[in-house]
Chain A
């Protein structure tokens, strides 16, 4: 068959399905995702930036944001260090009950956060299974420590889930090569294993941090929601909205939304850089 006989370009007829399906998709996704987000910014800035700024620098608002970021930081730090430790042990040793531990570590992802908070209260609360044995001045519930504890409970599987697969699929011969060259286990971990985990660690940390900053369900139960003491940013939004102070709630909501955009962008656009050799 000769392709150039006629010289006529072949065209397909107009396909109605294509624009129609794209239209339906946009029509559904727009009100579902983009419009709610847009409304935060539209409302939050409708009375001008000075008013937004004024709502934001309220001491309680500043405190709530700070508390969220600080508790999330400690939860993230714990998750990365202990997540690395757990993933290393579970990927490098085989022992009885190994799979059970992996399942147990992952359970919190499936548990409603309110249930998680409630469970922590039942354990560590002043009348809880273990909490009743703690002296009064060492009670952890309704303090910032409770928030960190809840954050860890809810987000640990995230960090672990990012690091574990990378460690499991990492070629064992890299570590063996390091050992034959004279490295101790710690030197091998530090010089060989850890550099290859850079992407997973940054990814796991960002996921944990983003999730912890936004944590509501478990935090509201274990923190006591005391303004200026144990009220995190999401709790502040909830409380101010309940009190009818929509502007105050909106200002903090904008900060959280912007923050999550930043983290999402890093995770989305910097993935290649993070995972590059």
Chain B
């Protein structure tokens, strides 16, 4: 049986789905509170679209339940669920004007004509499309089409809003602006929303909570801050932002790999001898001694600068550590620091970390290996 959480507007309970022999979703569980924005983040093929389609009622789960405001809707067809779906290509009805598109859900519900008109007026004002009321979708830009799609879904007061990669078809500048607009709008109308995306930046910016999906499994669900700062798996660490991964083992509350030794933080409980991975963000690696650092600094080893490249606001440096020969640690430094401590290729530097995660590695025997993984 399943638990019903008080206050959860949307509950996905133990949902599994197979297509043919392939497991697309494996025991998916999460809640969305009223007014909360949850972003399902995953690569293509991770199963995120299938979750959305199952919640909308366009796909049937093999196992598990969907609850909307406490009501089990698993067996209900899409048209009786009252979910508002914003499709990737917006799926606006091409032969209907903007106003007709927005009023469609209300016309289906046989609301009085006067009420429909009033609601259309209200929504058109909400999404700022006053002068486009009688245009056809093909006459509108991508961003405006998206706003029509949102207004159309809001018209019949949906139980949940589902966004299928809503920014995929828009160019980068518009995308950032729309993200902010939509987040503000959703907070104003207080409807639970689920977005799916493969864009980590989008997820970090939009979400109250991010669910990282990998091969049909939710690897972690937490606030953007937590997911970034405390990734619970290697996949999360590398998919969301860049991360250096060093493979080693646990030795008396220390992470060890060759001559590297890092003290575990107090709250990390990993048994002695366990194979483990050290996960470090490029911005948390420092190529100098602890002097003048306010953060808690742990020295790793010495390294040789292998490559220095300038990427916009940051300098990206690849460092060869003393004990390995083929892989490199990636480090980023802000411009302010590059001016004070200039570094050049071939230079020998101390390497230390200020923030890191140690994750148990159940798949491997303790072996010493360093790998630098980037986004």
Number of chain B residues whose Cβ lies closer than 8 Å to a Cβ of chain A: 30
Q: How many A residues are at the interface, by size bracket? A: 10 to 19
| Chain A interface mostly | helix
Expressed in whole angstroms, the Cα–Cα distance for A184 and B78 within the complex equals: 9
- In the complex, how many angstroms separate the beta carbon of B195 from the nearest chain A beta carbon? 16
Q: Quick one: closest A residue to B162, CB to CB? A: A180
Alpha-carbon distance A192/B78, docked complex (angstroms): 16
Contact A171 B91 (CB under 8 A): yes
Question: Are A171 and B89 touching (Cβ within 8 A)?
Answer: yes
Binary contact track A179-211/B, C-beta < 8 Å → 1, others 0: 111111001000110011010000000000000
Q: What are the residues of chain A within 8 A of B82 when measuring CB–CB?
A: 182
Stretch at the interface among B37-45, B101-109, B112-120, B212-220: B101-109
Structural contact, A182 and B95, CB atoms closer than 8 A: no
Whether, in the assembled complex, A176 has its beta carbon less than 8 Å from a beta carbon of chain B, the answer is: yes
CB distance from A80 to the nearest CB of B (A): 18
* B168 interface residue per 8 A CB criterion: no
**B93 contacts which of A174, A182, A187 (Cβ < 8 Å)?**
A174
B77 at the interface (CB under 8 A from A): yes
Residues of A within 8 A of B79 (CB): 179-184
A179 touches B89 (CB 8 A): no
CB proximity of B54 to chain A, nearest CB, Å: 12
Closest beta carbon of chain A to B87's beta carbon, Å = 4
Bound-state Cα–Cα, A176 to B90, Å? 11
Confirm or deny: B88 has a beta carbon within 8 angstroms of a beta carbon on chain A: yes
A195–B109 Cα gap in the complex (Å)?
Answer: 20
Question: Taking CB as reference atom, which chain B residue is nearest A175?
Answer: B91
- The answer to whether A177 and B91 touch (CB under 8 A), given A182-B156, A183-B79, A277-B138, is yes
Chain A residues in the interface with B (C-beta under 8 A): 171, 173-174, 176-184, 187, 191-192, 195-196, 198, 277
Q: Can you report 6 residue pairs joining A to B where beta carbons are below 8 Å apart?
A: A178-B104, A180-B83, A180-B85, A184-B79, A187-B108, A277-B94
Starting from the known contacts A173-B89, A176-B58, A196-B95, 8 additional A-B residue pairs (CB-CB under 8 Å) come to: A173-B88, A174-B93, A178-B93, A180-B81, A181-B105, A181-B152, A182-B156, A277-B137
